[in-house]
Every structure is written in structure tokens, then in C-alpha cells.
A and B are shown apart, each in its own frame.
Chain A
Amino acid sequence: MSETKTGTPDTTSAAADEDLGAAGSQLSTAPAEDTPNLPSLGVIGWTRWFWRQLTSMRVALLLLLLLSLGAIPGSLIPQTGIDETKVAEFRKAHETLAPIYDKLGLFHVYSSVWFSAIYILLFVSLIGCIVPRTWQFVGQLRGRPPGAPKRLTRLPAYTTWRTDAEPEQVREAALALLKKRRFRAHLAGDAVAAEKGYLREVGNLAFHIALVVMLIAFAWGQLFKSEGNKLIVEGDGFSNTLTQYDDFKSGSLFTQDDLDPFSFNLKNFVGSYEPSGPNRGTPRVYKADITYSVGSSDQEKKTTIEVNEPLEIGGSKVYLVSHGYAPVVTIRDGQGKIVYKDAVPLLPLDGNVTSTGAIKVMDGYRNAKGEREQLGFQAFFLPSYGGAGTAVVSQFPALLNPVLNLEAYHGDLGVDAGIPQSVYQLDKKNLKGFKDAKGAQVRENLKPGETMKLPNGAGSITFEKEIKEWAGFQVARQPGSGWALAGSLAAIFGLAASLFIQRRRVWVRATTGGDGVTVVEMAGLGRSESAKVPEELGDLAGILYEQAPGAPDPDDDPAESEASPDPQVAPAEGADTK
């Protein structure tokens, strides 16, 4: 490396850059960073000042920072939109904190006033930035690359040589070369001005517009969305009306008419599991075979819904979200009359589907004395019981050795009080346990087909051999997701273009020097992050040099370029080998 030293200790180049004038301007359409000037009084003055602040890069950056900070509490504090029971638990545990959180909207951060304010301001700032930038860019596309600055030596990449070719020839060759390289090039005075990489700005604008599209699509989806859950036992059906859902959430502009008309029946649920090895019990397949019909048509279609493979009907998607077992039980009263026969869906507690739930006989039952009474059973179900002496948890998710554990109660279930209660839990306040001869709570493990007798002729409960499975479905409708997807794809491509494409300018000046020999000067300018500019300039210079080969250097040195304070001749790459 004996030949060159690049650059120089230079702390005054910021000032020197002003020499570039218009040539360096508008290499991007980033907003100019003007110093905040004090606003003149008056509403218009203030509005203009506010608008200018809002659309400035600095404030946009601040809003971005605020947005990320504002999103944090929502991930740490339970949110009503995600898990209401957790919010309720939190309220119970923090009695002083909860009301404060309520006031600050911390239980629904992402729809709170202050969070909305941040992102709305950010997007207003964004739009206020995109619109003028788009116009500016259109102007740049309609105009031509700016002419060469007076002192090309000031530019980040520079090269020069002397040639015997005529200046016109050099300029023509340069113009042809640059156009061939797909620069936008034109002749301006004694130099060729060229620019390339406009797609960077296109990408940049596309990315930011795509963000706006995504936000609108997301907001639209939030306003009109609906989402409901329904647990269906094999053999049962569902039709898409509000009353049929177990629970239902919707956006504020949703109306019942938005529900797509369809209905379906769960024919069969299949769950298969890894039978052995380290992954024993891992679910392999979950699928629900259903028949469905759309609208009022009677035509039934068969299909299968799997996890990750929802059924799409109209704008709604039907997801398979959970599954469990629904043992069929028959309950008889003292006279042997059947008072209850149904599949009882139980809720799984763990990965091996240890399940729990309640059986409630609300009417039709009379006790041994002939009095009306209600019956309740606390049910605990193990699809694969490990046998006596093992822990009371299921060993495997499939029905290898099913056992139903029942605890019998009688009295008042509390369902008539008008207070809503869970169908999976017994309210034991007004219930009495059946006691055996020793006074212990009646409780028994039943295998399929077995019957538990209630004491003193109070009746019996039979665990039928048929065990049904149930599947939990979520029916979700989120309009605008197509737009969100399109916006996000555009955002990725725009982002990649705006980060990977370099916008740069090249100037080639050819003039007749003091001694009548043509002097060629080439310079390149890019954004500060680009390292490719010198490389590309060297490449272009190499090609141009072949068409306008070097002339011998004059012996008297400082006649080269009037514009440059220092006489310079750049050495050739292979110079010292010659």
C-alpha cells in the first residue's frame, strides 16, 4: 500500500459540504431539519408551528419511542381483551391499585385514549410527511439530475485523469456509458450529470403508505370483528346465531346481520397421540369431521377442520381450538325412572386430558320420600387411569383405561336464583353430600358400564360404555385482513428497497486544460451509509478510461485544475508494477 492514502483528518468538511450547493440537495426527500423558530402569534401561526413540529423527524422519532414505551404495560398487566379472568384476579389481589389502573385504562392499553392518541398522532405525522415527500419525489422524477458542482474534488469519491480525446468525445462516451448502466443522465454544461437508485425513495414511500394501509385495515377489522366460542359434543350441531354461542366478543360497529349464515354438525372428533418414546402423549392429529350447510340451503357438505386449517365460510373462519371428553351418564331415581341421560362435556386440566366438570339434574327427580329435589355430581374424569395406588391424574390423553370419579350431592343447585353460574362447577352452598353408612361422602370410581348406587334408595348413576368427545370451535370474522396482508407484503418489499438500494449521483466533467490537454474529472455522491459509491465510480472510470486513454503528465505540475487548491494526479492502480 505504498501508493495511496485515502482521506485526511478533516473536521471542517461539514462546512465544506455547503460548496456542493444544489448538486447535493434532494438526494433523498427527507424533511429538512430547520431550527425551531419561535412562532408568531395568532392561531394560524400556532397551527403552522404545531404542524411543522408534528411532521418533523424529531417529533416522529419521539412518537415512535412513546409508542414502544406505551405498548409495554399491556404486556405486563392483564388485559380484558385477552384474559378477563386474569383481570378479575388482579382486581381482587390489588384493591388500591386496580381503580388507578382503571382510570389510566391500563386494563385495555391498546384501546385506551392515550395509546390511541400516540398512534394517531404518529400516523398524522407520517401522512404529513409522506404527502409532501411524494410531491417532491414526483418533481424530481419530472426534472433532471442536478448539474455538476463547481468543485468535484469536494465530493466523497473523486477521480481525474488527462486524456488526448476531445472533451465532447469524453462527455458523449460518459453519457452513453451512464445510460447503459441505467443512470438517468443528461448533459449539463461541461459535465454529464447522472443519478440512479430512485427505487429507494419509491420503496420508502411505499413502506410508509403500506403502514397507513395496515393501520386502517386493522382498525376496520377491530370495529367490525366478531369472535365467538362454541363447545360441541359429537352428534350435536351449531348454527351461526348470537344465542348459540357460549361466549361472544365483537367490535363496536358489529351488528348481528354481519354474522354469516351457516350451520354445521360435529360428526366425529379424532385425536391420535404418540403411543411411546420420549414424545409419548404428543398429539399427532386433531381433526373434526363435520357436515355444514351455508345459508338456507339444505345441501350438506362434508369437510374436516384441523388445527391450523380452519374452515372458511364467507368472511368467517371456523377454528378447532380445543377438545375433551363427554362421558354419557344415565341417572335414575328411586323408582328406576330415567331422569337424566346425556353426554356431559368435561373441561381438561392437563395435557393428558385429566378432566373435571359437573352433572346437574335440575328437574324431574324425586327422592326416596317422593320429594322434588335437585341432584349434583362433581365429576372427575381420567381417560387413562394408571391403576390403584397411582396419582389421580391421567397417564395418557387417549381412552386407554377410562375412569369416572363421581361425588354425589342433593339439594338446591342454586340455578333458579337467576344468578348465572358455570355449568362446569357445582355451587355447593345449598347442597348436601350423600353419606354412606359410615357417614362418609359418597364417592366412587366408575369404569364404563358400571353403576353407582345412591344410598337409601335415592337412585343411581350409570357411566355408559359410550364415551363421546367434544370439540371447541371458535368462529371468527375479521374483515380487512386481506388489506392488512397486502399492506404488510408491500411494507416488506418497500422496506427492503429503501434499505438496500443506494441512491447516488455521478458527474463526469471534461474540459480543456491550460495546456490544451483534456482533463476528465469524475465524482460520485451517495448517502453517508453507502460504501459502494467509490467502487462503482472506479468501475465507471475504468471503462471510460479505456475510451479516453491517459495522456502523459505535464512536467510542470500545478496547471491541472483551477478549481482544486491542491494539484492532484491520482495514481494508477498498476503503476508501481510498471
Chain B
Amino acid sequence: MTLAAATELAAATNENLANISNTLIYSSMAVYTLAFFAYIAEWLLGSRSKVGRTAAALTPVKTAKAGKAAAPAVTVKKGGSTAVLERPKVVVRAAAGQRDVPDGPGAHGGDAQGDLYGRIAISLTVLAFLVEFGGVLTRALSVERAPWGNMYEFNITFSTVAVGVYLSLLALKKNVRWLGLFLITTVLLDLGLAVTVLYTASDQLVPALHSYWLYIHVSTAIFCGAVFYVGAVSTLLYLFKDSYENKLANGGTPGRFANSVLDRLPASASLDKFSYRVNAAVFPLWTFTIIAGAIWAGDAWGRYWGWDPKETWSFITWVAYACYLHARATAGWKGRKAAYLALIAFGCWLFNYYGVNIFVSGKHSYAGV
């Protein structure tokens, strides 16, 4: 085989792979859509059950306050005199100033059929994730590099990682099933945006991107974004759930929709804790992403920090998340105010990704968009 024929063959394979990648991405969108409907079915069927746990936990607050002086509730075991205790049981008290509301049962609301649809939805999500992952992989193979050269590739990788994070948390038996519908909705939006507005058939990678730092810096940036996103969804739901609980605690009656949906979510305290953990866990990695970027910039552009718009906005994002973490330790800023800061911080991240690429030109705009 001559050299020309070989390169031609290679080109044909690449084009084939790129086509396969596109098909896989579209297929994953179809499966995500099915999963989306299954999640909807789960929520709809779940609305049949009228649990009202939150209301039950919050309404008798006043009597409980008057009756017992804030003592931990313990079940007294009237053991027979010969019973031998295997292990002492630890009694846990809610932290100061927190309402003690049980976590909601999840989208299916305890309804068996709803639960079935929920499980179907998760299975479909797993399938769609695998298909999408295949799409990202074939894209990478077709361009013979990491698939992070433009916003289309960035978007498809981002949603894959976000779903991956969700599924991993599920696999670790964390209470995150309630995230499903919210996550898949945005994944569909993200992919829709990717295939319509941001699609780039093939893209030239400037030599500045020929560095192993691409793998380190961009992959951590994508991962951080996916985790921040999960944290932001949970923060948003925390705000809703918190005002719902406040309303109930103050003797108000929330609307039917709020009652049906919010009651099935975890307690506001759990949501708050979850979003804090998620954001705090990934914050050091975000710090690392920025520093890795700075080191790379030092090698590629001759300075490690030059207030390029992307650098500036990643710095702003960093400071905003730092604000959030500090707010949670500052009197008068805990709870809702801190949650607003977390949302602002995620807004900064989002702007850093979309806004800076689209509206501002800087050294990071080699993405075709």
C-alpha cells in the first residue's frame, strides 16, 4: 500500500468514526428522552400517594416544644432481665437550629408502580449514558485526540460526566435518586444545544493545545463543572424545600403542587448538607484545575496568569465558591443566604463556560465558537 492510499484509508476511517459518533450521540438523546418520560411517569404516579411527611413532622412543633424540653427521643427498650445487649445504640440529635424533618420518599412517593417506572428510568439512563459515552469515545478516536477541542465536544463530554457522577452516587447507595428528572432534563437541553448550535464537524487544534496539560486541565474542569452542577440543582431544590418547610412550620398551607412535589424530596437539611458536601468535595479540585491551567499557560503563553477572560472568570468562580464556603461558617449567612451564593457561584461557572466563549474573545477562544 502506498503512503497516499494509507492516509486516505485513515481519513476514511476517521470520517466513519465521526459519523458513528454522531449517530451514537443522537441515539443517546433518544434514550435520554425515553428516560425523561419514565421519570415523568414516576413523578406522576408518585403523586397518588398522600404522605405529607413534612407536614406531619412540622405541624406539631409547638406542642412538642411545650411538652418536652428538647431531649433526644429514644425508644426505651424494656429488655428482659436476661437480654444481653450486642452493641450500644448511638442516639443522634439534630444540630442546633435545624428542624428535624424526615427525608421524603423520593419521586415515586412510595407508590409501587411509580417506583417501577423510576427504576426503568434509571436503567434507561444507564443505557443512554453508555451510548453517549460511546459517542464521546468514537469522537475522540475520529479526531485522534482528547475530545475537548471545541464547545460541541466539551458539551457532550460534560453531560456524559454529569450523568456519570449521578450514576456513581447512585451506585454508592447515596440518596440521590430524586435528582434524576432535573438532571436528565438539563442533559437533554445540553445535548440539544450541542447538536444544533454548537456542532462542529471537524476542528483544527492549535498547537498550544498539543500538551498533556490538555488532559489534566480540561478533564478536571469538566468534572468540576459536572459536580458543581449536581450541587447547584440540589441547592436550588433546597431553597424550594426550605421555604416549603418554613411555610408549614409557620402554619401556612402550601399549594397542592408544592405539597405533592416538595414533600417527596429529601428534607431541606439533607439537601443543604448534600449540596455542601458536593461543592466542598470538588472545590480543591477546582483550585487544582485553575493552578494546572496556570502552569500550562506558563509553558504555552509565557505567563502563568494574565487576566485572560477565561482565567478571570475561573478566578471569579473560585472566589464565589470560597464565599459560599465561608458563608456557611459565618453567623447570619448560613442557610438560604449561603445557598444563594452557591447558585451565584455556579452561575459564574456557567458564564465562564458559555458566556466567555460566546461573548468575550480571549486566548481560550479557539473553539470554533
B208 touches A307 (CB 8 A): yes
In the complex, whether B10 has a CB less than 8 A from a CB of chain A is yes
| Closest CB in chain A relative to B35 CB, distance in Å | 30
B65 touches A571 (CB 8 A): no
Q: List residues of chain B with CB within 8 A of the CB of A279.
A: 14, 143-144, 202-205
A573 touches B281 (CB 8 A): no
By CB atoms of chain B within 10 A, which of A17, A568, A571 has the most?
A571
In the complex, whether A462 has a CB less than 8 A from a CB of chain B is no
In the complex, whether B331 has a CB less than 8 A from a CB of chain A is yes
CB contact list, B266-318 vs A, under 8 A = 273, 276-277, 280-281, 283-284, 287-288, 291, 294-296, 298-309, 312-313, 315-316
A6 touches B92 (CB 8 A): yes
In the complex, whether A430 has a CB less than 8 A from a CB of chain B is no
Which residue of B287, B348, B356 is within 8 Å of A68 (Cβ)? B348
In the complex, whether B172 has a CB less than 8 A from a CB of chain A is no
In the complex, whether B48 has a CB less than 8 A from a CB of chain A is no
**Stretch from B70-78, B117-125, B233-241 that touches the partner:** B70-78
In the complex, whether A511 has a CB less than 8 A from a CB of chain B is no
Q: Which residue of B lies closest to A156 (CB)?
A: B93
In the complex, whether A25 has a CB less than 8 A from a CB of chain B is no
In the assembled complex, the Cα of A553 lies from the Cα of B60 at a distance in Å of 33
Q: How large is the interface on B (under 10, 10 to 19, 20 to 34, 35 or more residues)?
A: 35 or more
B204 touches A351 (CB 8 A): yes
Interface string of A535-578 (1 = CB under 8 A from B): 10110011001000110110101000000111111111111001
In the assembled complex, the Cα of A258 lies from the Cα of B217 at a distance in Å of 33
Q: Which residue of B lies closest to A574 (CB)?
A: B86
In the complex, whether B95 has a CB less than 8 A from a CB of chain A is yes
Q: List residues of chain A with CB within 8 A of the CB of B77.
A: 3, 553, 569-572, 575
User: Given A286-B207, A570-B89: A8 and B73 within 8 A (CB)?
Assistant: yes
User: Given A276-B8, A572-B85: A72 and B205 within 8 A (CB)?
Assistant: no
In the complex, whether B87 has a CB less than 8 A from a CB of chain A is yes
A538 touches B309 (CB 8 A): no
CB contact list, B21-77 vs A, under 8 A = 57-58, 60-61, 64-65, 68-77
B84 touches A9 (CB 8 A): no
B281 touches A68 (CB 8 A): no
B87 touches A71 (CB 8 A): no
Q: List residues of chain B with CB within 8 A of the CB of A282.
A: 204-205
Which residue of B58, B79, B283 is within 8 Å of A495 (Cβ)? B283
The total of interchain contacts (Cβ-Cβ below 8 angstroms) comes to 313
Q: List residues of chain B with CB within 8 A of the CB of A11.
A: 61, 65, 70, 97, 99
| Closest CB in chain B relative to A177 CB, distance in Å | 14
A82 touches B86 (CB 8 A): no
B94 touches A10 (CB 8 A): yes
| Closest CB in chain A relative to B357 CB, distance in Å | 12
In the assembled complex, the Cα of A500 lies from the Cα of B285 at a distance in Å of 12
B309 touches A75 (CB 8 A): yes
Which residue of B88, B95, B315 is within 8 Å of A161 (Cβ)? B88
| Closest CB in chain A relative to B246 CB, distance in Å | 13
Q: Which residue of A lies closest to B345 (CB)?
A: A68
In the assembled complex, the Cα of A572 lies from the Cα of B87 at a distance in Å of 5
B360 touches A76 (CB 8 A): yes
B89 touches A4 (CB 8 A): yes
In the complex, whether A481 has a CB less than 8 A from a CB of chain B is yes
Which residue of B68, B94, B304 is within 8 Å of A481 (Cβ)? B304
In the complex, whether A288 has a CB less than 8 A from a CB of chain B is no
Which residue of A160, A308, A555, A573 is within 8 Å of B87 (Cβ)? A573
Q: List residues of chain B with CB within 8 A of the CB of A100.
A: none
Q: List residues of chain B with CB within 8 A of the CB of A128.
A: none
B316 touches A71 (CB 8 A): yes
Q: List residues of chain B with CB within 8 A of the CB of A433.
A: none
**Stretch from A41-49, A57-65, A326-334, A441-449 that touches the partner:** A57-65
B284 touches A495 (CB 8 A): yes
Q: List residues of chain A with CB within 8 A of the CB of B287.
A: 488, 491-492, 495
Q: List residues of chain A with CB within 8 A of the CB of B333.
A: 58, 61
Interface string of A99-120 (1 = CB under 8 A from B): 0000000000110000000000
Q: List residues of chain B with CB within 8 A of the CB of A225.
A: 303
Interface string of A473-517 (1 = CB under 8 A from B): 010101001001100110110011001100000000000000000
A7 touches B76 (CB 8 A): no
B307 touches A79 (CB 8 A): yes
Q: Which residue of A lies closest to B82 (CB)?
A: A552
In the complex, whether A227 has a CB less than 8 A from a CB of chain B is yes
CB contact list, A1-46 vs B, under 8 A = 3-14, 16-17, 30, 33
User: Given A156-B92, A571-B77: A9 and B305 within 8 A (CB)?
Assistant: no
Q: List residues of chain A with CB within 8 A of the CB of B78.
A: 553
In the complex, whether B247 has a CB less than 8 A from a CB of chain A is no
| Closest CB in chain B relative to A376 CB, distance in Å | 32
Which residue of A281, A308, A321, A566 is within 8 Å of B210 (Cβ)? A308
In the assembled complex, the Cα of A230 lies from the Cα of B299 at a distance in Å of 18
Q: Which residue of A lies closest to B318 (CB)?
A: A68
In the complex, whether A235 has a CB less than 8 A from a CB of chain B is no
User: Given A64-B322, A283-B207, A499-B280: A159 and B88 within 8 A (CB)?
Assistant: yes
By CB atoms of chain A within 10 A, which of B92, B203, B211, B296 has the most?
B92
| Closest CB in chain B relative to A65 CB, distance in Å | 6
B85 touches A545 (CB 8 A): yes
A7 touches B281 (CB 8 A): no
In the complex, whether B330 has a CB less than 8 A from a CB of chain A is yes
In the complex, whether B329 has a CB less than 8 A from a CB of chain A is yes
In the assembled complex, the Cα of A9 lies from the Cα of B65 at a distance in Å of 8
Q: List residues of chain A with CB within 8 A of the CB of B76.
A: 557, 567-569
In the complex, whether A252 has a CB less than 8 A from a CB of chain B is no
Q: Which residue of B lies closest to A9 (CB)?
A: B64
| Closest CB in chain A relative to B176 CB, distance in Å | 15
A572 touches B88 (CB 8 A): yes
In the complex, whether B96 has a CB less than 8 A from a CB of chain A is yes
B332 touches A58 (CB 8 A): yes
Q: List residues of chain B with CB within 8 A of the CB of A74.
A: 307, 312
A10 touches B87 (CB 8 A): no
Q: Which residue of B lies closest to A108 (CB)?
A: B307
Which residue of B208, B213, B360 is within 8 Å of A75 (Cβ)? B360
Q: List residues of chain B with CB within 8 A of the CB of A61.
A: 323, 326-327, 330, 333
Pick the 9 closest A-B CB pairs, nearest first. Answer: A278-B202, A277-B11, A571-B77, A572-B85, A550-B85, A68-B319, A570-B89, A476-B302, A33-B331
